[in-house]
Amino acid sequence: MMKTIDDVAVEGRRVLVRADLNVPLDGDRITDDGRIRASLPTLTALISRGARVIVCAHLGRPGGRPDLTYSLAPVAAHLGALLGQEVDFPGDIVGSEAHAAIAAMRPGGLVMLENLRFDAAETSKDDMARGYFADRLAAPVDLYVADGFGAMHRKHASVYDVPLRCVSAAGYLVQAEVAALRRLTAEIQRPYVVVLGGAKVADKFDAFGDLISKADRILVGGAMAFPFLAAHGLKTGTSLREPGQLAAAVSYLKQAAPGQIELPSDLVVATEIAADAPRQVVAADAMPADQMGLDIGPASAERFAGIIGTAGTVFWNGPMGVFELAPYAAGTRTVAQAIADSGAFTVVGGGDTGAAIRTLGFDAGAFGHVSTGGGASLEFIQGKTLPGLAALET
């Protein structure tokens, strides 16, 4: 069993909490604060127990150097407002200002470090580079708490190397995520329907190999659908496509049972990703060469909803279209409604998918579990070892 924050003394101690505060931003306005709210139970427990809490996290993919468009400053300000207490934001990670802020902390105080990915060592593939950075992160702390479930599939310094160097425990969010997602790794109630979409296709495409052997039906929307439509010989216009996925899609379709992988048969297309662009619904085999698919069409959404209605278990990761823009949100809304209405055990995973259900006004209580992790939950349900969890168990 994993040690949790209930098993360790924290009073007066310097506790480094790795959270996943990778929230969507519009400029410096946070458009969905779900991941920040999900981090509150652990932070408030540590604060009320008199810990000195140091929060570290990443935001976006700044590429290993400081870039203020990815600063955690707005997140620190919002966290302070939610907690009703000052969050000290020194503006660096392991430099002298961070050290001074940490040294000045009182029990019950909270410091947030700047975006970990401003340092290339955080995400480095070189164990030495990561280890050196992890040493510096760990130096001023007495205890490490892993609570950033959404980043635990990354073998990054703050996720993997720091807990190898410190007394470590899981936070409440990680505990809750693991307990819920375990229900998708054994004795799954069938039919097991997996719904996959979203834009980070490269991160998730590998999952098909495993899901074909586990799920009864796999419903594919979002940008994830285009390599499969192309594998059927269809033209995908100017839709988001990444190289190298066509061959994999062809082989997944061969491995899958007939009808196991369901693709959109109609799409909402437009010339550009814009709410005011002229748009139309077309059959998937009649995509205009100069247009891109931005949502699944109404017939596909209804067909997907019907399949979801028969499920015993549903796992959903990735929106069906560009839900952030109202004209392309219908497919995601129809799928979300079907999942909310179903009597199955349902898990909705991912930063974008969680944001989608909240933005579209769904109550999180309508789903069995809303995971803060997209890639992380997808790897967990495949039975893969998440580096962040492995480091806690050693």
Q: Which residues bind ligand 3PG (CB under 6 A)?
A: 20, 22, 61, 150-151, 154, 351, 374-375
User: Looking at beta carbons only, is 344 or 356 nearer to Mg ion?
Assistant: 356
Q: Which does 182 bind (CB under 5 to 8 A by kind): ligand 3PG, Mg ion, none?
A: none
- Cα–Cα distance between 155 and 371 in angstroms, integer? 20
Residue 222 touches which member of Mg ion, ligand 3PG, none, C-beta under 5-8 Å by kind: none
DSSP 8-class letter at 158: I
Query: Could you say whether residue 374 binds Mg ion (CB under 5 A)?
Result: yes
Q: Of residues 165, 183, 200, 303, which has the active-site annotation? A: 200
CA-to-CA separations, 389 to 1, 169, 226, in angstroms, rounded: 11, 10, 33
Selection from 341, 258, 350, 262 nearest residue 301 by Cα: 262
Among Mg ion, ligand 3PG, none, the one that 101 touches (CB under a kind-dependent 5 to 8 A) is none
Interacting span for Mg ion (CB under 5 A) from 94-102, 130-138, 154-162, 367-375: 367-375
- Rounded alpha-carbon distances, angstroms, from residue 71 to 61, 78, 217, 243: 11, 13, 41, 31
Beta-bridge partner residues of 192: 313
* Residue 351 lies near Mg ion (rule: CB under 5 A): yes
Q: Considering the candidates 131, 221, 318, 351, report the single residue annotated as catalytic.
A: 351
Q: Which residue is nearest to Mg ion (CB)?
A: 374
Annotated catalytic residue, options 13, 14, 18, 35: 35
Catalytic residue check, 131: no
Known catalytic residue: 351?
yes
Could you tell me the smallest distance in angstroms from the CB atom of residue 263 to ligand 3PG? 24
Instruction: Report the SS3 class of residue 26.
Output: strand
Question: Which span (66-74, 88-96, 366-374, 385-393) binds Mg ion, by CB under 5 A?
Answer: 366-374
User: Are residues 342 and 330 in contact, defined by beta-carbon separation less than 8 angstroms?
Assistant: no
Phi, psi of 240 (to 5 degrees): -55, 120
- Interatomic CA distance for residues 267 and 194, integer angstroms: 20
- Residue 200 is among the residues annotated as catalytic for this protein: yes
Q: Which of 109, 148, 293, 375 is catalytic?
A: 375
- Please count the CA atoms within 13 angstroms of the CA of 84 that sit on its side-chain side: 2
Q: Are 346 and 339 in contact (CB under 8 A)?
A: yes
Residue 375 annotated to the active site: yes
Which of ligand 3PG, Mg ion, none binds 20 (CB below 5-8 Å, type-dependent)? Answer: ligand 3PG
Q: Nearest residue by C-beta to ligand 3PG?
A: 22
Residues classed as catalytic: 35, 200, 351, 375
Residues at the site binding Mg ion, with contacts judged by CB under 5 A: 351, 374
